[in-house]
Amino acid sequence: MEDVLRILMSGEYVSGAQISSDLGVTRAAVWKRIEQLRALGLKVESAGRRGYRLTDCADCIMAPIIERNLHTAWAGRPVIYRQTIGSTNQYARQLASQGAAHGTLVVADEQTAGRGRRGRAWISPAGEGVFFSLILRPSLHPSLVPHLSLITALTAYDALVAIGIESAGIKWPNDVVANGKKVSGLLLEMDANEQEIEHIVVGIGFNVHQQTFPEEIEKTATSLDLVRGKRVNRAELVCAFLQAFEARYDDLNQNGMDKQMETYVTRSVTIGRKVQVVGTGEQFIGTATGIDESGALKVTDEDGNERTVLAGDVSVRGLMGYV
């Protein structure tokens, strides 16, 4: 399907015969792929012998559409699209272990086994959200790797600003929230051997078009359409994310985390709040006071002890609600 789309991206009429000869497939196969594109919401006009013309890409996130609006050097190069997939993170890890390049993006319309943090599932209904994973082969100094999760959250926030949402915040460590509910979740997974990190997969899910949510998350989740009050274009969102991520990643590499940490603190909705920290063993209540240089959350508990909370270990909830 993407091969036909790539040919139609010129916006000009292309005859069925031309497409079939360019791709070395039958006219019937071309017609079938055009129908599949239409089923995804793309508008393809047909006019007798003149052939087919793409008039509207709608909300499509296939590779040719993302690539057309992408102005990055490495992030999203290449883009690999799947209409449906188990988990983009899982597939990206598989591709990375087979040698896929730094910057490769796997993006899907639907995940049937989307993974969340701390072993939870990430509900990923077809066409409602956007689910993607970026493969990194870190040229980063190992001491900067823990900061990747924070710069990914900063980037998700940047992407929201780029599409006109200014009211977001970051719930430590890396949930992006708006109107007190989560719009985006991030899952970083790393494969390493004894000597070095082989690759890191940065996985991001945005709730985009949902108007309602399953009962188990309806109190804590919202979508970008609901926050913006206007339909969001998913390809624009992905491009905005990749653009900002590349800039933040390169900056982290060159200048370290200090500046970006300052930005993180200004965008944090956790710092200054009373929170409940729930770990595998104990749980306690305290006030979040800041982030240390490694990205851990500093919390002063009710006895006045300053404690440091690591992202992998706990869930942090506000006392008055999700944030």
Question: Which tokens go with 75?
Answer: 């992030």
Determine, following the binding rule CB under 6 A, whether residue 93 of this chain makes contact with ligand BTN: no
**SS3 sequence, 85-142?**
ECCHHHHHHHHHHCCCCCCCEEEEEEECCCECHHHCECCCCCCCEEEEEEEECCCCCH
Q: Based on the shown chain and the rule CB under 6 A, indicate whether residue 222 belongs to the binding site for ligand BTN.
A: no
CA angle at residue 252 from 298 to 159, to 5 degrees?
A: 85
CA-to-CA dists, residue 76 to 82, 246, 258, angstroms: 14, 9, 26
CB of 193 to ligand BTN, least distance (A): 23
Q: How many angstroms separate the CA atoms of 47 and 50, rounded?
A: 6
Place of tokens 């992006």: 176
Task: Give all strands (DSSP E) within the chain, no chain letters.
Answer: 43-47, 51-56, 79-85, 105-111, 129-136, 169-171, 175-178, 181-192, 197-207, 274-278, 283-291, 297-301, 306-309, 315-318
Size of the site for ligand BTN (CB under 6 A): 20
Residue choice 133, 210, 268, 270 for contact with ligand BTN (CB under 6 A): 133
As given in the structure block, the two tokens for residue 38 are 């239409």
Give the residue at shortest CB distance from ligand BTN.
185
Choosing from 52, 81, 131, 241, the residue that interacts with ligand BTN (CB under 6 A) is 131
Sequence letter at residue 120: R
Site for ligand BTN in 225-284 (CB under 6 A): none
State in angstroms the smallest separation of the CB of 54 from ligand BTN.
28
Cβ 122 to ligand BTN shortest distance, Å = 4
Residue among 93, 115, 209, 248 that touches ligand BTN (CB under 6 A): 115
Q: Which stretch binds ligand BTN (CB under 6 A): 9-17, 73-81, 116-124, 243-251?
A: 116-124
Q: What is the spatial distance between Cα 78 and Cα 247, in angstroms, rounded to a whole number?
A: 17
Among 64, 103, 114, 295, interactor with ligand BTN by CB under 6 A: 114
Closer CB to ligand BTN, 89 or 233, in the complex: 89
Minimum distance, C-beta of residue 201 to ligand BTN, in the bound complex (Å): 8
Q: Return the residue of 27, 32, 43, 120 that touches ligand BTN, per CB under 6 A.
A: 120
Residue 13 and residue 22 in contact, taking contact as beta carbons nearer than 8 Å? no
- Identified binder of ligand BTN from the candidate list 19, 42, 57, 89, rule CB under 6 A: 89
Which listed range, 112-120, 144-152, 240-248, 295-303, lies at the site for ligand BTN (CB under 6 A)? 112-120
Among 15, 20, 36, 116, binds ligand BTN (CB under 6 A): 116
CA distance 274 to 319: 6
Burial of 259 (0-12, 13-18, 19+ CB in 10 A): exposed
122/84 Cα distance (integer angstroms): 14
- Stretch 174-213: interaction string toward ligand BTN, x if CB under 6 A: -x---------xxx---------------xxx--------
Q: Which residues bind ligand BTN (CB under 6 A)?
A: 87-89, 111, 114-117, 120, 122, 131-133, 175, 185-187, 203-205
